[in-house]
Chain A
Amino acid sequence: MSEHSSQPPAPEPSTGPPDRRGFLLTTGVCGLAAAAAGVPLVGYFLGALRNRPVEWVTLGPVGKFPVNEARRETFVNPIHQPWDGMAANTACYVRYLGRDEQGQDQFWVFAVNCTHLGCPVTWSPQAGLFLCPCHGGVYYENGEHASGPPPRGLYRYVWRVRDGQLEVQAPHLPTLQDTLDKPSEVVQLGLRTRRPRSDSA
């Protein structure tokens, strides 16, 4: 550039600080670009939190379950990806309590996940206890906490009887603030819907 210094320099475009308007315009366009690309991106990352429809799984005819005996049942969780493989399998403990005074079938359906840190509990029919292999959490046959570190009893599935079949609500991974049978705080925030247990046939 300096080779052409023989000619008087032409008045250069303003080299001082950009004027206020130009600055705001540039900032605005950059902001718009960031929002246009960023908002969908954030939405994508939060997509895991979207609402999911409630689904039911059939565990089998009521007659399959002996009265007052806990049975381990396994099923494929409808909440799964086609590529989940074995991880879509789920286990729970079902205990048929017989019929109540109104002639309704009554069940206890417990998640296998220990309420302490989520390890899978094992039912010991002889001891009448659920035992957790990780830290020795123990629960009574009705799911109540018996001993060890768990802060509460076993998580209960939402269930219903339809056409003589025991059905349970497809479970998410239960945690202390997001149990399977109670609407949690988050549900009220609208992040996930769980219908309360109401419609046993």
Chain B
Amino acid sequence: MGAHRWGGMVVVGLIAAAGCDPPGKPRPGDDAVRPEQVLDFGKLYAQNCSGCHGADGRLGPAPPLNDPLFLVIVPDAELRRTVAEGRPGTPMPPFDQAKGGPLTAEQVRVLADGIKRRWHPATVSPAAVPAYAAASPATDGESSARGIVVFARACAGCHGDHGQGSDAGAIHDPAFLTLCSDQALRRYVITGRPDLGMPGFSPSFGRPAGFQPLSAQEVEDLSALLASWRKDGTGRSAAAAGTVARGGFPLP
């Protein structure tokens, strides 16, 4: 190839380069954004929630948010309040700046509303689902006593007769229960943990044939029982820790 041909190609190349955008040309979208101006749900969720609730809202150590039943029953206001104020005593921290968290009120709203927008099921659920919040927050001895019966019917099969752990992990465990709010216990009773194969209140996978759904009262009683376990135990001794039955489910 002659020098003239090369020269011509360089000139053509330069003209072409001037006309189009080379890969190095900055795009306005690359600009730095103030952290408080990030209002994209995906980004906010990935930065603030995915650590505990999982990258896709499931399979994290914290209760799954990508859970149809949960999203059907949880009131919007409750979701917003929890994101803003956290659940004191549990690993769920407050995220609102007014509570010492990192996010603005607007960002909290985007997050809470976005959870429903992203994962809310298209189909409407049966009306017979127990309410998200307990009717009477105060639990009495009678209720938890009735809970023992419900436990035997709905939980003992996997968690052992006294919740000491069998096929599934131990839940009669002060450390676990202390780090769970009453609301979270109630929610687990209703929704189960579908991402980990734990069934909820209704007949579904993992339930024996002919299983009758838990009534609202039974949900109440069972939650009361679990909450009462939180107070009675002293926890396992450190020496026994290594030998206790290990729980967990295979991935569904």
A–B interface present (Cβ within 8 A): yes
Answer yes or no: B100 CB below 8 A from chain A CBs: yes
Taking CB atoms, residues of chain A closer than 8 Å to B100 are 66, 69-71, 125
What is the number of contacts between chain A and chain B, taking CB atoms within 8 Å? 9
CA distance A126 to B100 in the complex (A): 10
- Which listed residue, A66, A70, A71, A125, touches B93 by the CB 8 Å rule? A125
Bound Cα distance from A126 to B95, whole angstroms = 11
Closest to A122 in B: B102
For B94, the closest partner residue in chain A by CB is A125
Q: How far is the CA of A152 from the CA of B2 in the complex (A)?
A: 70
Q: Write the chain B residue with the least CB distance to A71.
A: B100
Which residues of chain A (92-134) have a CB below 8 Å from chain B?
125-126
Residues of chain A with a CB closer than 8 A to B101's CB: 125
Q: What's the least CB distance linking B50 to chain A, in Å? A: 17
The interface residues of chain A lying within 8 Å CB-to-CB of B91 are: 126
- CB-defined interface of A56-93 with B at 8 Å, one 1/0 digit per residue? 00000000001001110000000000000000000000
In the assembled complex, the CB of A126 is this many whole angstroms from the nearest CB of chain B, namely 5
CA of A66 to CA of B93 in the docked complex: distance in angstroms? 16
CA distance A66 to B162 in the complex (A): 42
Tell me which residues from 179 to 195 in chain B have a Cβ below 8 Å from any Cβ of chain A. none
Shortest Cβ distance from A93 into chain B, in angstroms? Answer: 11
* Contact partners of A71 in chain B: CB under 8 A: 100
In the complex the two chains form, what is the Cα distance from A70 to B100 in whole Å? 7
In the complex, how many angstroms separate the beta carbon of B214 from the nearest chain A beta carbon? Answer: 34
Residue of A nearest to B91 (CB): A126
Expressed in whole angstroms, the minimum distance between the Cβ of A152 and any Cβ of chain B is 26
Chain A min CB distance to B168 (Å): 28
Instruction: Name the CB-closest residue of B to A125.
Output: B100
8 A Cβ contacts from B99-123 to A: 100-101
A125 proximity list for chain B (CB < 8 A):
93, 100-101
Residues of chain B lying within 8 A (CB to CB) of residue A69: 100
Q: Looking at A66, A69, A70, A125, which has the most chain B CB atoms within 10 Å of its CB?
A: A125
A125 to B144: give the CA distance in the assembly, Å.
35
8 A Cβ contacts from B69-106 to A: 91, 93, 100-101
Write the chain B residue with the least CB distance to A124: B93
Give the CA-CA distance A71 to B102 in the complex, in Å: 10
Residues of chain B lying within 8 A (CB to CB) of residue A126: 91, 93
Q: How far is the CB of B83 from chain A (nearest CB, A)?
A: 15
Closest beta carbon of chain B to A162's beta carbon, Å = 25
> A52 to chain B: closest CB distance in Å?
30
Cα A70 to Cα B93 in complex, Å, equals: 14
Report the Cα distance A66→B85, complex, angstroms: 14
In the assembled complex, how far is the CB of residue B73 from the closest CB belonging to chain A, in whole angstroms? 28
Instruction: Report Cα–Cα, A89/B91, bound state, in Å.
Output: 33
Q: Which residues of A contact B (CB under 8 A)?
A: 66, 69-71, 125-126
Residue contacts A-B, CB under 8 angstroms, 9 given: A66-B100, A69-B100, A70-B100, A71-B100, A125-B93, A125-B100, A125-B101, A126-B91, A126-B93
Please name 7 further chain A to chain B contacts, defined as beta carbons within 8 Å, in addition to the given A69-B100, A125-B101, sorted by A numbering: A66-B100, A70-B100, A71-B100, A125-B93, A125-B100, A126-B91, A126-B93
The 3 closest A-B pairs by CB, nearest first: A125-B100, A126-B93, A69-B100
